[in-house]
């Protein structure tokens, strides 16, 4: 005679077996289909939605959502979706046109709704940002990520009332993990000597991080990631690093290692490891999830700034 508990686990085992032998399309039947515009947001939606939700991410790992060109497949994903999650703050300049051309009936939800926007200082350089004044990189503060999670949870409940308890439980557990990472970030910043909390980055994407955690990020003056730095640009960066006593350099999308080595040699600023601002790494990489990304970045900053 089976105990009730054993019977339940036996039944669960059978269900798993049945599910895994079905084609993927059948497994996904009945799941709430949603779209997230970029990888960081897609990861958050997956965490809150869990098994009830099928998430299609438009701009994948290592992709640049600022300058994305949608494909016909993206249009089809939108047509099938019940919700389209966007960052908002004019991060995805291409999304409105895509929504319109797809004819989707999906609800559009801006995950950043309710965050206190910082003013963008990214005019005249950067990589083609046009944010109409607001800096869109709000997820770089974990406090803001918690607002994203609440917005995602509420939108999923509105679209799928039967999943309310699941979405609430998933969100609560994810928010707890976010609290833990935030405590780790703050703990590592405190250990960096205050006068060393200055970093230079090519892409001005860390201002919410700066505001929340107190590391200064300085963008190199007059350098675009879309063109190669001239000798004059390099000289100016070197002067800037010396003048502003910047301890470490983090540069994205710069393939010329010699340039960075030269700048590092002439200034004594240390070159940090690759950091992630607008996109996750491939799954299993150093920043395969939002939480791993935040953890990876603070460890990289901390390693380069601590003497």
Return residues touching Zn ion (CB under 5 A). 205, 278
The residues with which 119 forms a beta bridge, in sequence order, are 134
Please report how close the Cβ of residue 289 comes to Zn ion at its closest, in angstroms.
Answer: 19
Please report how close the Cβ of residue 293 comes to Zn ion at its closest, in angstroms.
Answer: 14
List Cβ neighbours of 186 (8 Å cut-off, separation of 6 or more): 213
**Residue (132 or 193) nearer to Zn ion, CB:** 132
Please report how close the Cβ of residue 277 comes to Zn ion at its closest, in angstroms.
Answer: 6
- Residues 289 and 263 sit within 8 Å (Cβ to Cβ): no
Please report how close the Cβ of residue 115 comes to Zn ion at its closest, in angstroms.
Answer: 16
Q: SS3 letters for 146-160? A: HHHHHHHHHHHHHHC
Which one, of 94, 25, 37, 102, lies nearest residue 63 by Cα? 37
In whole angstroms, what is the distance from residue 153 CA to residue 49 CA? 8
**Residue (167 or 290) nearer to Zn ion, CB:** 290
The residues with which 35 forms a beta bridge, in sequence order, are 56, 84
Please report how close the Cβ of residue 107 comes to Zn ion at its closest, in angstroms.
Answer: 25
The Cα-based distances of 191 to 1, 181, 199, 215 in angstroms read 60, 16, 16, 12
Quick one: which H or E segment has residue 107?
strand 107-110
- Residues 275 and 290 sit within 8 Å (Cβ to Cβ): no
Please report how close the Cβ of residue 138 comes to Zn ion at its closest, in angstroms.
Answer: 11
**Residue (53 or 205) nearer to Zn ion, CB:** 205
**Residue (72 or 124) nearer to Zn ion, CB:** 124
Number of other residues whose CB lies within 10 A of the CB of residue 5: 8
**Residue (74 or 278) nearer to Zn ion, CB:** 278
**Residue (86 or 267) nearer to Zn ion, CB:** 86
Please report how close the Cβ of residue 66 comes to Zn ion at its closest, in angstroms.
Answer: 5
**Residue (44 or 59) nearer to Zn ion, CB:** 59
Please report how close the Cβ of residue 135 comes to Zn ion at its closest, in angstroms.
Answer: 9
Give 265-273's long-range contacts (Cβ < 8 A, gap of 24+): 266/238, 267/238, 267/241, 267/242, 269/200, 269/241, 270/304, 271/304, 272/199, 272/248, 272/300, 272/301, 272/303, 272/304, 273/300, 273/303, 273/304
Identify the three-state secondary structure at position 294.
Answer: helix
């Amino acid at each position: 005679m089976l105990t009730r508990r054993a019977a339940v686990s036996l039944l669960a085992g059978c269900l798993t077996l049945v599910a895994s032998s079905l084609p993927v399309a059948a497994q996904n039947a009945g799941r709430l289909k949603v779209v997230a515009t970029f990888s960081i947001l897609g990861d958050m939606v997956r965490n809150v939605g869990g098994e009830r939700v099928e998430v299609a991410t438009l701009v994948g790992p290592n992709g640049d959502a600022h300058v994305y060109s949608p494909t016909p497949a993206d249009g089809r994903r939108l047509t099938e979706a019940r919700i389209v999650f966007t960052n908002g703050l004019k991060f995805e300049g291409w999304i409105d046109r895509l929504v319109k051309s797809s004819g989707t009936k999906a609800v559009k939800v801006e995950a950043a709704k309710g965050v206190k926007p910082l003013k963008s200082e990214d005019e005249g350089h950067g990589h083609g940002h046009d944010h109409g004044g607001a800096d869109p990189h709000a997820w770089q503060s974990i406090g803001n990520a918690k607002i994203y999670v609440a917005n995602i949870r509420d939108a999923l409940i509105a679209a799928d009332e039967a999943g309310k308890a699941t979405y609430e439980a998933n969100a609560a557990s994810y928010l707890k993990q976010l609290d833990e990472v935030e405590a780790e970030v703050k703990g590592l910043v405190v250990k960096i000597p205050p006068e060393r909390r200055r970093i230079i980055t090519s892409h001005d994407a860390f201002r919410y991080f700066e505001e929340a955690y107190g590391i200064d990020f300085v963008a190199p003056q007059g350098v675009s990631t879309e063109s190669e730095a001239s000798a004059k640009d390099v000289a100016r960066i070197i002067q800037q690093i010396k003048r502003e006593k910047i301890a470490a350099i983090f540069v994205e999308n710069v393939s010329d290692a010699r340039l960075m080595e030269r700048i590092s040699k002439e200034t004594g600023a240390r070159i940090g490891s690759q950091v992630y601002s607008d996109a996750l790494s491939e799954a299993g990489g150093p920043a395969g999830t939002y939480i791993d990304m935040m953890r990876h970045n603070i460890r990289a900053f901390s390693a380069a700034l601590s003497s």
